[in-house]
Amino acid sequence: MRYGIAVDTAKCMACYCCQMACKDEHCGHDTALSKSQPMMGQFWIEVREWERSDSSRLTKTATVATLCAHCADPACAKAAKNGAVYKRDDGIVIIDPEKSEGQRQIADACPIGAVYYNEVLDIPQKCTMCAELLDDPNYLAYLGDPKKFKKPRCVEACPNNALMFGDLDDPDSDISKYVASHKQTQLEPLAGQETNVKYLNVPTVYLAGTVYLPKELEEVAIGAKVSLKADSGESWEVTTNYFGDWIVDDLPKNRQVDITVELAGYKPVKYTAKTDADHYVDMTYLQKA
Ligand code: SF4
Ligand code: SF4
Ligand code: SF4
């Protein structure tokens, strides 16, 4: 049994229910495995949002509910003294609230900032994957679930199934099948790490633009073919929509990309762009062939 949580960013609608549920569970009282977290400013699961845009013409947002990844080889455990951070047989990484007292370096060691330092109690704190509830035979959070599989509070609270919990060791579990069939996108600071929290569909960068017919016509070009070819060999093709807009998302980072815009009866237009960041590339005016 290896407990895991899948975080499907594509389904997250930034409702913050997960954050609230974790606060409800872990504020104001101690549990068998943790002490109460501060009410303000610290989030064992944090809905991290950022704006994706370099132009007022197109703004997207990215939302990633971020929690301790329960790493296979945790940096926080390596930084800890006296065995203050340990991994359970079910893969959950726990900070011992007694042994970790005064060990600020545990918080500093986490590459994704998932450990917070409780200044009042003088201890580092983070997500327990609700292990104290999973261990509790009286925690029947899922009476409606045919498998009666207990789930952490944040997973239970998510209204859009953007969070999924289960046994990653079982290839037939829902979570294993879900992870296998969706794009895994490890958080960049954890690149190369095996983790029990699986981040899926975290956006990378997009290129986008708008294509117009010749300026004097004051019309957008609908159905123009936009071809992208990266210097690494990958290619993509889209057509402009009813607003003349095109976008290719989730591109690999740091590529030089040749872009060609084509529409029957008009001269092709070519330009290049870099995928170093999200870019609204251009407003392209076609000219009669
Ligand atoms: S994500 Fe950070 S806190 Fe969690 S196990 Fe990995 S290093 Fe430790
Ligand atoms: S698994 Fe439990 S402790 Fe971890 S973020 Fe979710 S609610 Fe909080
Ligand atoms: S509860 Fe689910 S949908 Fe809402 S912010 Fe959290 S992960 Fe996203």
Atom of ligand 1 nearest to the CA of 109: 7
User: Which token pair is 175?
Assistant: 């979570």
**Is beta strand 163-167 parallel, antiparallel or unpaired with respect to 3-8?**
antiparallel
Atom of ligand 3 nearest to the CA of 154: 1
What pLDDT, on the 0 to 100 scale, is given for residue 190? 97
With 80 as the cut, is the pLDDT of residue 30 above it?
yes
pLDDT tier for residue 284 given thresholds of 50, 70 and 90: very high
Residues with C-beta less than 6 Å from any ligand 3 atom:
12-18, 47, 65, 157-158, 160, 162-163
Atom of ligand 3 nearest to the CA of 11: 3
Specify whether the CB–CB gap between 194 and 221 falls below 8 A.
no
User: pTM of the full predicted structure?
Assistant: 0.88
What pLDDT, on the 0 to 100 scale, is given for residue 148? 59
Q: Helix, strand, coil: what percent of the chain each, to 5?
A: 15, 35, 50
Length of the chain: 289
Radius of gyration of the chain from Cα atoms?
23
* CA-based nearest residue to 83, from 67, 99, 69: 99
Q: How far apart are CA 166 and CA 160, in angstroms?
A: 17
158 lines ligand 2 (CB under 6 A): no
Please give the distance, rounded to the nearest whole angstrom, from the Cα atom of residue 177 to the centre of ligand 1: 24
What pLDDT, on the 0 to 100 scale, is given for residue 202? 94
Helix, strand, or coil (residue 274): strand
List, in order, residues 6 or more apart from 181 with CB less than 8 Å away.
none
* Dihedral angle computed from the Cα positions of residues 63, 65, 67 and 69, in that order, rounded to the nearest 10 degrees: -70
Please give the distance, rounded to the nearest whole angstrom, from the Cα atom of residue 145 to the centre of ligand 2: 19
Reported as a single tens digit per residue, the pLDDT across 194-245 is: 999 999 999 999 999 999 999 999 999 999 999 999 999 999 999 999 999 9
What pLDDT, on the 0 to 100 scale, is given for residue 149? 65
Average pLDDT in the 265-272 region?
96
User: Where is pLDDT greater, at 66 or 31?
Assistant: 66
pLDDT tier for residue 279 given thresholds of 50, 70 and 90: very high
Ligand nearest to the CA of 47: 3
- The dihedral built from the CA positions of residue 247, 250, 254 and 260, taken in this order, carries a sign that is negative
Q: DSSP of 140-188, one letter per residue?
A: -TTTTSTT-----HHHHH-TTS-EEEEETT-TTSHHHHHHHTS-B---G
Q: Which domains does the chain have, with CATH numbers?
A: 3-200 (3.30.70.20), 205-285 (2.60.40.10)
263 lines ligand 1 (CB under 6 A): no
What pLDDT, on the 0 to 100 scale, is given for residue 54? 86
What is the Cβ-side half-sphere exposure of residue 175, based on CA atoms within 13 angstroms? Answer: 23
Protein residue with its CA nearest to atom 4 in ligand 3 = 15
Tally of CB atoms within 10 A around 235: 10
With 90 as the cut, is the pLDDT of residue 26 above it?
yes
pLDDT tier for residue 142 given thresholds of 50, 70 and 90: low
What pLDDT, on the 0 to 100 scale, is given for residue 282? 83
Protein residue with its CA nearest to atom 3 in ligand 2 = 127
Specify whether the CB–CB gap between 95 and 125 falls below 8 A.
yes
User: Where is pLDDT greater, at 144 or 87?
Assistant: 87
With 80 as the cut, is the pLDDT of residue 128 above it?
yes
